[in-house]
């Protein structure tokens, strides 16, 4: 569980910097103007509220909101700064535990080059107590740009919520003008819908219509606590690496879930087993060479059906006719 937190955090950080450094489309001010006139830029005080189902945050009104790969970004209108809001569902471990804070810091250090941790503390912002930390670092393989990142992490309703302010390190004077106010605006929202139903930002003026629709949704069948826990674990495993149907059941049984609970989790985790086979095939080819038949047999050994294994092998380009002509010409 705790290992998954650090792995997921590293992936979020990479996504944040990739989007930020390629987001010139979001700057309405030219780069020359933003660099030369920063000291004279007036501080924007007008804000807009965005809801993430069970909490709300206020962001400068002129900032551009985009959602990509499950994360929500708000881009500054005057420079390259941006805010990222990321949410992981089914996370029971609390970020207020010191051991989890250390895992988060370890994940940051593993994901960035030349990483320097500048600060870390438990603090309350708005309605939430959480773990705030800041650091500088470079993204591996993406130039020598040194980024400054200030982050506030929250555990709430079995969700891991991460709010980051990302800036180029030597141009980060605007962060003190905005990020403290953004964090102080954090507010809990009472809602009748499940926190897992929507992790995207919704402008607050649209909340009433969405909550009324949710209240009319039929109740889902009751499941046992052990089934919920097994399903949560299954989804977390699938977030980190691919599994076959039987492989996932065996992994859950290894974690001491009953066979019945493991089967329930595999049946209800929403996995596309063909897609899992394709991911597994790619992972194998990333580390070693396989013939078509050899890779099919390896996937079958991992618990994939023959049809799933063939789908996975085809997805990485090892088609039958390739082997046929290679053997014929050798």
3-state secondary structure the chain: CHHHHHHHHHHHHHHHHHHHHCCHHHCCCCHHHHHHCHHHCCCCCCEEEEECCCEEEEEECCCEEEEECCEEEEECCCCCCEEEEEEECCCCCCCCCHHHHHHHHHHHHHHCEEEEEEEEEEEEECCEEEEEEEEEEECCCCCCCCEEEEEEEEEECCEEEEEEEEEEHHHCCCHHHHHHHHHHCCEECCCCCCHHHCCCCEEHHHHHHHHHHHHCCCCCCCCCHHHHHHHHHHHHHHHHCCCCHHHHHHHHHHCCCCHHHHHHHHHHCCCCHHHHHHHHHHHHHHHCCCCHHHHHHHHHHCCCCHHHHHHHHHHCCCCHHHHHHHHHHC
Tell which wins on pLDDT, 126 or 35: 126
Amino acid 249: pLDDT: 94
208 and 237 in a common domain = no
Least confident of 18-27, 28-37, 238-247, 311-320: 28-37
Give 264's pLDDT tier (boundaries 50, 70, 90). Answer: very high
165 and 49 in a common domain = yes
Give 69's pLDDT tier (boundaries 50, 70, 90). Answer: low
Count CB neighbours of 39 within 10 A. Answer: 6
Query: What percent of the chain clears pLDDT 70, i.e. is strictly above it?
Result: 73
240 and 153 in a common domain = no
The angle at the Cα of 89, spanning 84 to 92, to the nearest 5 degrees, equals 115
Q: Find the mean pLDDT for residues 155-183.
A: 85
Gap between the Cα atoms of 34 and 39, Å rounded: 9
Give 210's pLDDT tier (boundaries 50, 70, 90). Answer: very low
Domain count along the chain: 2
Amino acid 187: pLDDT: 94
Indicate whether 298 belongs to any domain: yes
Q: Find the mean pLDDT for residues 255-267.
A: 93
Q: Find the mean pLDDT for residues 221-231.
A: 86
Structure tokens at 24: 């010139």
Q: Find the mean pLDDT for residues 50-57.
A: 90
38 and 114 in a common domain = yes
Question: Could you list the residue range(s) of the whole structural domain that residue 315 is in?
Answer: 225-329
269 and 169 in a common domain = no
168 and 253 in a common domain = no
Mean pLDDT of the chain: 78
Tell which wins on pLDDT, 65 or 67: 65
pLDDT at 208 over 90: no
Q: Find the mean pLDDT for residues 47-75.
A: 88
pLDDT at 146 over 60: yes
Q: Find the mean pLDDT for residues 287-306.
A: 90
206 and 230 in a common domain = no
Indicate whether 220 belongs to any domain: no
pLDDT at 316 over 90: no
Amino acid 1: pLDDT: 43
Give 214's pLDDT tier (boundaries 50, 70, 90). Answer: very low
103 and 208 in a common domain = yes
């Amino acid at each position: 569980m705790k290992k998954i937190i650090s792995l997921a955090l590293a992936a979020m950080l990479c996504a944040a910097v990739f989007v930020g450094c390629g987001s010139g489309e979001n700057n309405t001010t030219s780069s020359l103007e933003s660099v030369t006139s920063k000291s004279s830029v007036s501080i924007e005080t007008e804000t807009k509220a965005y809801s993430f189902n069970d909490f709300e945050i206020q962001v400068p009104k002129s900032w551009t909101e985009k959602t990509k790969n499950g994360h929500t970004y708000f881009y500054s209108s005057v420079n390259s700064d941006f805010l990222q809001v990321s949410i992981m569902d089914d996370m029971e471990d609390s970020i207020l535990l010191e051991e989890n804070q250390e895992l988060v810091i370890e994940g940051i250090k593993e994901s960035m080059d030349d990483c320097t941790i500048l600060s870390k503390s438990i603090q309350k912002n708005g309605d939430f107590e959480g773990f705030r930390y800041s650091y500088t670092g470079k993204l591996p393989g993406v130039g020598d740009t040194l980024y400054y990142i200030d982050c506030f992490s929250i555990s709430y309703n079995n969700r891991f919520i991460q709010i980051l302010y990302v800036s180029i390190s030597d141009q980060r004077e605007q962060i003190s003008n905005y990020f403290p106010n953004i964090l102080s605006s954090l507010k809990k929202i009472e809602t009748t819908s499940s926190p897992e139903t929507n992790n995207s930002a919704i402008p607050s003026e649209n909340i009433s219509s969405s909550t009324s629709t949710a209240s009319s949704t039929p109740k889902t069948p009751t499941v046992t606590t052990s089934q919920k826990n097994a399903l949560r674990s299954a989804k977390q495993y699938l977030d980190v690496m691919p599994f076959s149907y039987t492989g996932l059941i065996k992994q859950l049984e290894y974690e001491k879930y009953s066979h019945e609970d493991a089967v329930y989790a595999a049946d209800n985790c929403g996995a596309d087993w063909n897609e899992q086979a394709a991911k597994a095939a790619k992972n194998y080819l990333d580390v070693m060479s396989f013939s078509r038949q050899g890779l099919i047999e390896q996937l079958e050994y991992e618990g994939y059906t023959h049809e799933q294994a063939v789908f996975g092998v085809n997805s990485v380009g090892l088609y039958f006719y390739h082997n046929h002509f290679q053997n014929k010409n050798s």
